[in-house]
A and B are shown apart, each in its own frame.
Chain A
C-alpha cells in the first residue's frame, strides 16, 4: 500500500528524531527555554492525542476536554498541599478522579448529539472551573504553587528537566502506540463506525452508547495523566488551566494536525505552540493574527497538516 519511505512516514520520522535529540541540542546550547517549551508541547500533545480519540476518530466534539487537564493537575496539587508528595499516590488519584468525572459527564452528555453535545461538555467543564476557583484552601482564583514535584522513590527525578522531558516523551510515544492498537481493534472500529452511522452500528448489534462512553472515559483518564504531568511541569495549578478557551486550544491542535490521524495531534501541538511563540515575538497582540488564521484554516485547509502532507504524497 505505501512505499517504505513515503512523505508522511519520513516527516514523522524526522519529527520524532528531532524530539528525541532535543535535549542533546539544548544541553549543548545551554538553552533551557527551548527544552521547557518542548516539554510543554509534548505534554499538550498527550492531551491532544487523547482528544483525538473521541474527536478525530469518534466525531464527538467535546469542548470541555481541558477539564481533565485541570482535574489531573489539581489532584497532584491538592495532595501535594496536603503533604502527600508521592507520585505513586498522586498519579492514581489523578487518574481515578478523571475517570469518575468523565463517567458522569459522558453518561449525561452522550445521550445528545451535535451542538447540544458541544454545549453540554463545555458547560460541565466551566462548572469544574468555577468549583476550582471557589476552592479557597487551594488557592482559588490565584492558583496553588507546588513546591515539590511528584516523588517516585528515586526511580526517576522529575525535578531534572532532561529526565522529566524524556518521561513525557516516552509517555507520548506510548500514547500514540496505544492509540494505534486501540483504533485497529474492534473497539476502534465501533468508535469510528458509530461516528458516521450510529444506527447501522446498533443494527449490527453493537451497544454503541457503551463503547462511546468507554472511549470518553479513556480519553478523560489519558488527559488527566497529561494534567498531572502539567502540574509537575509548571509547579503550579490554577483554574485557568481548564478555562474553556483551553479546551478550544486542544481542539485547534487536533484539527490543525489532522483529525483522525495518529501523529496529527503532535503536529498540531507543535504548530500551535511554536506559532504562538513566534507570533508573540512579532507582536504582543499575536492573537489578532491567530484568530483569523484559524478561521482561514477552517475554511480552506480542513484536513490539517496531516492532510497537506498526504496530498504531497499523492501529488
Chain B
C-alpha cells in the first residue's frame, strides 16, 4: 500500500511539473522564447496566494486572486521586458531572463522578507480520503484533479478551438499567419499570459504542502526544462507524458532506492548513495532519452 501512496505522490508531483512545463513548452514552441523567469512566475503565484489568503481569510478567494495577479504580472512582463527579445539569439534570452530571475528574487526579499511564508490549508481540505484501502490527503487528490482538468482544457483549447488553430499555425509559420491577418503580437501576449497563469497555478497549489520561499522557482524550473526536453519541445502531449514519468521516477526513486540499495550495500553507505543517486535519477533519465531520441519523445512538426 506504500507503493500506491507513493505512486499517487509521484502522479501529483508529476502533474504539478506538467503545469509548469506546459507553459514553458508553449512559450518556447510558439514564440521561440527561452524564459528562465518562468520559475519566478511560479514563485510569485505562491507568494500571492499566501498573501491573498491571509487578507481575505478564504482559501479559494485567495487562490483565485493569486491566479489573476500572476496572469496580470505575466502579461505586463511580456509587454515590457520580453517583447524586445523576440527573434534574438537564445543566448540573449537566457541572459536577459536570468537578469529577471535576480530581479524577482530580490523584489520578493524586499517586499516579503528573506524568510519564507506559510500557507495553511483550510480545515475542509485538511482531511484524508479513503482511496483503494489507504488514507490519502484530500488536498493532494484535489491537486491531481485540478491538474487533470487543466490538461484536458489545454488539449481542447489547442486542438479544438479557433484560438488553438491560430496558436499552432503561429508556431509553425509566424510570418504567414501574420500575412493572413493574425495579430501575432497579441497572440504571443495571450500565450504568454496562459503560460504565466499555469505557472502561477502550480505555485499556489503546491504552496500549502511544499514551500513558499525565495529561489523556489529555480529548483523546479530545471526539472521543468528536463521534462520538456524529454517530452519534446513544443509538445504539450509530450510534456504531460514526460512530466508524469519524471514525477513517478523521482518520487518512487527517492522512496524506494534506499531500500533497494540496502540489499547490496551497508546501511550507512546505502543511505548516502541513495541520497546522491535519487537526485541524479531524473538527469540520468534525460541523458538516456537524449541518447536514443534527441528530439524528445513527441517531437513537434513544423519549424
Q: Do chains A and B touch in the complex (CB under 8 A)?
A: yes
Chain A positions near chain B (C-beta within 8 angstroms): 61, 63, 108, 111-112, 114-116, 118-120, 122-124, 126-127, 130-131, 133-137, 244-245, 248, 251-252, 255, 285-288, 290-295, 298-299, 302
Contact A135–B103 (Cβ < 8 Å) = no
Contact A290–B222 (Cβ < 8 Å) = no
Q: Which residues of B contact A302 (CB under 8 A)?
A: 92
Q: Which residues of B contact A135 (CB under 8 A)?
A: 272, 276
Contact B95–A114 (Cβ < 8 Å) = no
Name the residue of chain A whose CB is nearest to the CB of B280.
A127
CA distance A68 to B124 in the complex (A): 49
Leading 10 A-B pairs by shortest Cβ distance:
A291-B103, A294-B99, A130-B279, A291-B102, A287-B106, A134-B275, A134-B276, A288-B106, A291-B99, A295-B99
Instruction: Give the segment of B161-169, B201-209, B283-291 that binds chain A.
Output: B283-291
Contact A294–B279 (Cβ < 8 Å) = no
Contact A119–B98 (Cβ < 8 Å) = no
| Cross-chain contact of B294 among A111, A252, A255, A291 (Cβ < 8 A) | A111
| Cross-chain contact of A285 among B92, B106, B282 (Cβ < 8 A) | B106
Contact A248–B98 (Cβ < 8 Å) = yes
Contact B225–A285 (Cβ < 8 Å) = no
Q: Which residues of A contact B34 (CB under 8 A)?
A: 115, 118
CA distance A108 to B98 in the complex (A): 25
Decide: A61 near B290, CB < 8 A? Known: A248-B98, A291-B99, A299-B96: no
Query: Shortest beta-carbon distance, B86 to chain A, in Å?
Result: 11
CA distance A302 to B290 in the complex (A): 32
Contact B110–A285 (Cβ < 8 Å) = yes
7 contacts between A and B (CB under 8 A): A111-B291, A111-B294, A123-B222, A123-B225, A127-B280, A295-B95, A295-B100
Contact B85–A134 (Cβ < 8 Å) = no
Decide: A131 near B279, CB < 8 A? Known: A108-B290, A119-B225: yes
Q: Is B226 an interface residue (CB 8 A)?
A: yes
Q: Which residues of A contact B283 (CB under 8 A)?
A: 123-124, 126-127
Contact B28–A294 (Cβ < 8 Å) = no
| Interface 0/1 of B2-19, CB less than 8 Å to A | 000000000000000000
Q: Is B229 an interface residue (CB 8 A)?
A: yes
Contact A114–B100 (Cβ < 8 Å) = no
Q: How many residues of B contact A (CB 8 A)?
A: 41
Contact B92–A292 (Cβ < 8 Å) = no
CA distance A114 to B92 in the complex (A): 12
CA distance A120 to B233 in the complex (A): 13
Q: Is B196 an interface residue (CB 8 A)?
A: no
Q: Is B84 an interface residue (CB 8 A)?
A: yes
Chain B positions near chain A (C-beta within 8 angstroms): 28, 34, 81, 84-85, 90-92, 94-96, 98-107, 109-110, 218, 222, 225-226, 229, 233, 272, 275-276, 279-280, 282-283, 286-287, 290-291, 294
CA distance A115 to B290 in the complex (A): 13
Contact B294–A295 (Cβ < 8 Å) = no
Given A285-B109, A299-B84, 12 other A-B contacts at CB below 8 A? Answer: A108-B290, A112-B290, A112-B294, A118-B94, A120-B229, A127-B280, A131-B280, A287-B105, A291-B104, A298-B85, A298-B96, A298-B99
| Cross-chain contact of A287 among B102, B275, B287 (Cβ < 8 A) | B102
Q: Which residues of B contact A295 (CB under 8 A)?
A: 81, 95-96, 99-100
Q: Which residues of A contact B91 (CB under 8 A)?
A: 61, 251, 255
| Cross-chain contact of B90 among A118, A131, A133, A244 (Cβ < 8 A) | A118
Name the residue of chain B whose CB is nearest to the CB of A114.
B90
Contact B275–A63 (Cβ < 8 Å) = no
Q: Which residues of B contact A111 (CB under 8 A)?
A: 290-291, 294
Contact A290–B92 (Cβ < 8 Å) = no
Contact A292–B280 (Cβ < 8 Å) = no
Contact A115–B233 (Cβ < 8 Å) = yes
Contact B229–A116 (Cβ < 8 Å) = yes
Q: Which residues of B contact A293 (CB under 8 A)?
A: 99
Q: Which residues of A contact B101 (CB under 8 A)?
A: 245, 291
CA distance A288 to B105 in the complex (A): 8
Q: Which residues of A contact B280 (CB under 8 A)?
A: 127, 130-131
Query: Shortest beta-carbon distance, A257 to chain B, in Å?
Result: 13
Query: Shortest beta-carbon distance, B45 to chain A, in Å?
Result: 19
Name the residue of chain B whose CB is nearest to the CB of A288.
B106
CA distance A293 to B106 in the complex (A): 14
CA distance A108 to B91 in the complex (A): 20
| Cross-chain contact of B99 among A116, A120, A123, A292 (Cβ < 8 A) | A292
CA distance A135 to B273 in the complex (A): 9
Query: Shortest beta-carbon distance, B245 to chain A, in Å?
Result: 16
Q: Which residues of B contact A245 (CB under 8 A)?
A: 98, 101-102, 218
